[in-house]
Amino acid sequence: MNALANQAELGHEQLAVFNPATRETIGSVPIFSAAEIAAAVDRARKAQPRWAATPVRERMAIIRRFQQLLCDQKDAVCEVITREAGKPLAEALSTEILVVLDGAQYLLDNVPAFLRPEHIPHSNLAMKLKRGTLLREPYGVIGIISPWNYPFSLPSVQTITALAMGNAVVLKPSEFTPFTSLELQRLLREAGLDPDLLQVVTGEGAAGVALLQANIDKMIFTGSVATGKKVAQSAAARLLPVVLELGGKDPMIVLEDADVEVASSAAVWGAFMNAGQTCLSVERCYVHESIYEKFLQACVEKTNKLRSGNGTDANTDIGPMIHERQLRTVQIHIDDAIAHGARVLTGGKPLTQLGPSFFAPTILADVTHSMAIMREETFGPVLPVRSFKNDDEAVALANDSDFGLAASVWTRNKSRGESLARRINAGSVLVNDVVCSFGISEAPHGGIKASGIGRTHGRFGLEEMVWPKYVDSDQMPGMKKLWWYGYGPGFRTQMQGFIELLFAGNFTKRVRGGGKSIKSFLGRKPR
């Protein structure tokens, strides 16, 4: 926070940051102007070529030092996360710190080999005298606009991946959780990173617009569908490449042979962790009719044992929602569901005795797809459940959504679960687990349809941070190529025979084509 204090002294207009559990003011951050954000991008651009030219092992050494610093200071960073985002400290450790440490390890283990020049073989006989190489080049300056729900793990993994590839980063965090991104910046600078290579610019929506309009080379945006569409439209006007992670409405399918005890625990955790404010949350739950009531009963019993409160309390299971506006969305969805026939089995209302941002974990039964709670992203502690009759109906219900981020299937039959997983339209489908795909650094994270464009994490996440350059070297530089001018009848006959040599349907035609091509070749000279 010292860096922010220094910026405050420069006379910036300030933006107050609040603890969602207590509504107390944590502090304030400067509101960067468009000119200041453009200047930050320019500084990053000037520093980036030196960084890209730095040997990969030296870049990885900084990532390794960052990893060790984060491990050593994990509790202090968790306190900042919980103070800003409200989630329990233990959850900050498991879903934020652990994810970033493992993400750093993935980079350490894989980036050197990934960035090595890759030999490209030539199957075309006409190209056998060439040697091709694929290089992966950094874009330059990556702009990152990050949300509040995972204020450390989301921007950190994206940032260190971009840096490892040789890019510079300008990061605009959510106005609700800026101090956490400043912790990321502090740790990387302590690890030895040039300050110009990662710059955090704070402010509200206008700061994000300014970053998108600045001289960046790629944008990585995580947020709502509505804002993501605006980002895509603005980027398209200048052909700026983007990665968009726009949330989900993730289905959970519980088959009749599932372990109800295990699946109900997964549903409760998957729906309520981080107060349901997770793009991978279980937001739709489909349970086979034969175990429907038993499953609901188990979920209600487990939900009623959960403890809501301040995330700094070690006994807290569910913290506050980030702000009252998000809480109102949850209430609107629940009220709409009730009005259309859904049953509230537990919860359904704010916990005003704890504060204005707390909402009781809620289970709704007998929901239908005519209800907003099954169509729109709720992003709150609600588990809506309905029954289904057979596998085909379950898959149809799961795929009946504008979103396609993640899903899960629950069954004791692994083959059956994996077979159903292949039929579900989602970027990730887990069999007998929920949410955890984000914590698997090797697995790509992202979705289809309204859930976004592109991927982070894993090899696909590495590919998003570079552009491919193909370099080809001819091994016979003193020889004119056979396909150069002049053409004439001889060249046409040569090409006809050559194509037949390579692709004719039987051996005899290939031999004849080869002879025809050679004869024509010997009778002509390229100019």
pLDDT of 78 over the 50 cut: yes
Q: Are residues 277 and 214 in the same domain?
A: no
Residue 469 near residue 475 (C-beta atoms within 8 A)? no
Q: What is the DSSP string of 38-52?
A: HHHHHHHHHHHHHHH
Q: pLDDT tens digits for 430-455?
A: 999 999 999 999 999 999 999 999 99
Q: Could you tell me which residues are beta bridge partners of residue 145?
A: 172, 221
The DSSP call for residue 486 is P
- Least Cα distance to 276 among 255, 258, 250, 299 occurs for 250
Q: What's the CA gap between 379 and 359, in Å, rounded?
A: 12
Q: What is the pLDDT at residue 8?
A: 45
Q: What is the pLDDT at residue 483?
A: 86
- Least Cα distance to 149 among 29, 322, 313, 349 occurs for 322
Q: Are residues 224 and 238 in the same domain?
A: yes
- The pLDDT confidence band at residue 11, using thresholds 50, 70 and 90, is low
- The pLDDT confidence band at residue 7, using thresholds 50, 70 and 90, is very low
In this prediction, residues 341-353 reach a mean pLDDT of: 97
Q: What is the pLDDT at residue 9?
A: 45
Q: What is the pLDDT at residue 322?
A: 95
H helices within 73-219, ranges in order? Answer: 74-85, 89-92, 98-114, 153-164, 178-190, 205-213
Give SS3 for 270: helix
Has residue 29 been placed in a domain? yes
Amino acid at 145: I
Phi and psi, residue 368, nearest 5°:
-135, 165
Q: Are residues 226 and 265 in the same domain?
A: no
Residue matched to tokens 């101090």: 179
Q: Are residues 174 and 27 in the same domain?
A: yes
Q: pLDDT tens digits for 223-255?
A: 999 999 999 999 999 999 999 999 999 999 999
Q: What's the total number of domains in the chain?
A: 3
Has residue 450 been placed in a domain? no
Q: Are residues 172 and 283 in the same domain?
A: no
pLDDT of 344 over the 70 cut: yes
For residue 205, what are the contacts with CB-CB under 8 A and spacing of at least 6? Answer: none
Specify the range with the lowest mean pLDDT, choosing from 177-181, 309-313, 517-521: 517-521
Q: pLDDT tens digits for 93-138?
A: 999 999 999 999 999 999 999 999 999 999 988 899 999 999 999 9
Q: Are residues 311 and 359 in the same domain?
A: yes
Whole-number CA gyration radius for the chain: 28
Q: What's the CA gap between 496 and 503, in Å, rounded?
A: 11
pLDDT of 5 over the 70 cut: no
Task: For the chain, give the mean pLDDT.
Answer: 95
Q: Are residues 324 and 390 in the same domain?
A: yes
Q: Are residues 390 and 502 in the same domain?
A: no
Q: pLDDT tens digits for 144-180?
A: 999 999 999 999 999 999 999 999 999 999 999 999 9
Question: Angle of helix 391-399 relative to helix 414-423, nearest 10 degrees?
Answer: 40
Q: Are residues 511 and 374 in the same domain?
A: no
Q: Which residues are catalytic?
A: 245, 279
Phi and psi, residue 350, nearest 5°:
-65, 155
Q: What is the pLDDT at residue 480?
A: 86
Q: Are residues 430 and 390 in the same domain?
A: yes
Give the CA angle between residues 138, 141, 146 to the nearest 5°: 115
- Within 10 Å of residue 253's Cβ, how many Cβ atoms? 28
Question: Angle of helix 56-72 relative to helix 178-190, nearest 10 degrees?
Answer: 120
User: What is the 3-class SS of 195-245, one letter each residue?
Assistant: HHHEEECCCCHHHHHHHHHCCCCEEEEECCHHHHHHHHHHHHHCCCCEEEE
- The domain that holds 353 is classified in CATH as 3.40.309.10
What is the span of the domain harbouring residue 226?
Answer: 2-6+18-120+129-246+459-469
Residue matched to tokens 């080379």: 217
pLDDT of 213 over the 50 cut: yes
- The domain that holds 228 is classified in CATH as 3.40.605.10
User: What is the 3-class SS of 53-78, one letter each residue?
Assistant: HCCHHHHHHHHHHHHHHHHHCHHHHH
Which stretch of DSSP H or E encloses residue 298?
helix 292-303
Has residue 262 been placed in a domain? yes
Give SS3 for 480: coil
b/e map of 308-332 (b: 16 or more CB within 10 Å)? bbbbbeeebbbbbbbbeebbebbbe
Phi and psi, residue 508, nearest 5°:
-60, -45
Q: What is the pLDDT at residue 126?
A: 87
pLDDT of 3 over the 90 cut: no
Has residue 58 been placed in a domain? yes
Q: Are residues 193 and 79 in the same domain?
A: yes
Q: Are residues 255 and 371 in the same domain?
A: yes
Q: What's the CA gap between 395 and 467, in Å, rounded?
A: 37
Q: Which of 8-12, 383-387, 498-502, 506-510 has the highest mean pLDDT?
A: 383-387
